[in-house]
Structure 1
Amino acid sequence: MSKVQSGLRYSAEHEWINDESPAVVGVSEVAADALGEIVYVELPEVGATIEAGSVIGEIESTKSVSELYSPVSGEVVEVNETVVDDPTLVNSDPYGAGWLIKVAVSEEGPLLSAEQYAADNGAEL
């Protein structure tokens, strides 16, 4: 069963965000497990302005290609180049080394608590 990390908030599209400044954004273990072995990640460039709910990149696995959606609006201030070079980090450590981008948040989109997201997706905290 996939795990959901408490202390984070989640979008319905399976991205997570923390409350730091800048905020760190990643993909939940629920999504990583559903995708299978991740082989490619495309992320926005540093300096890009992103909007909550908009497509900001894509993630490709041996099973499928999925779009990445931003849980917040703001400016991308850092991209995890390590995960671009080694996408399997999203599978092995989705809440740690597998983070995707850091954002200077100007506005949040609709977000779920860890408890709500776990209940909605049959995952455990």
Structure 2
Amino acid sequence: MTTMYTPDHEWINIEDHEAATVGITLHAQDALGDVVFVDLPEVGRTFKKGEVSGVVESVKAAADIYMPVSGEIVEVNEALRADPSLANSDPLGNGWFFKVKVSDMAEFEGLLDAPAYDALVKNA
């Protein structure tokens, strides 16, 4: 499993060639504070890389969720919809947002690996 990151603080796990899992990073959930609502995309909807695919709202602010890669939404995390605090308590695990069937694997080359993302956050 390979995890990549966006400059907008989303992560994407490439588990297999069927679907990749997307969520927000520890840095994002720290900046947002207590998450109170998550607007997830519809299953079957297709997005291009960089498009807004959802919204996460906290007691502090609301933030858009951007698609890390182009593809079709194949699953959303209903547990997160029922309990948005999972985005805070386990953002890299049970707090995932959705799964996407990737349409262009080459788009992963434009994402950040863990050392590059850590450097981005450190210099922010």
Q: TM-score normalized by structure 1?
A: 0.90
Partner residue, 2:118: 118
Partner residue, 1:18: 13
State the Cα distance separating 1:7 from its structure 2 match: 4.2
Task: Tell me, in whole angstroms, the C-alpha distance in 1 between the residues paired with 2:2 and 2:46.
Answer: 26
Task: Tell me, in whole angstroms, the C-alpha distance in 2 between the residues paired with 1:7 and 1:45.
Answer: 25
Are the counterparts in 2 of residues 7 and 114 from structure 1 also a CA contact under 8 Å? Answer: no
Q: 5+ unaligned residues in a row in structure 1: which ranges?
A: 1-5
Task: Tell me, in whole angstroms, the C-alpha distance in 2 between the residues paired with 1:20 and 1:52.
Answer: 19
Q: Which structure carries more relative contact order (alpha carbon 8 Å, separation 6+)?
A: 1
Instruction: Give aligned pairs, total.
Output: 118
Larger proportion of helix: 2
Q: What is the 5 A alignment of 1:17-96?
A: 17-21=12-16, 22-96=19-93
What percent identity do the matched residue pairs reach?
51
Q: TM-score normalized by structure 2?
A: 0.90
Are the counterparts in 1 of residues 2 and 15 from structure 2 also a CA contact under 8 Å? Answer: no
Task: Tell me, in whole angstroms, the C-alpha distance in 2 between the residues paired with 1:94 and 1:114.
Answer: 15
State the Cα distance separating 1:25 from its structure 2 match: 0.4
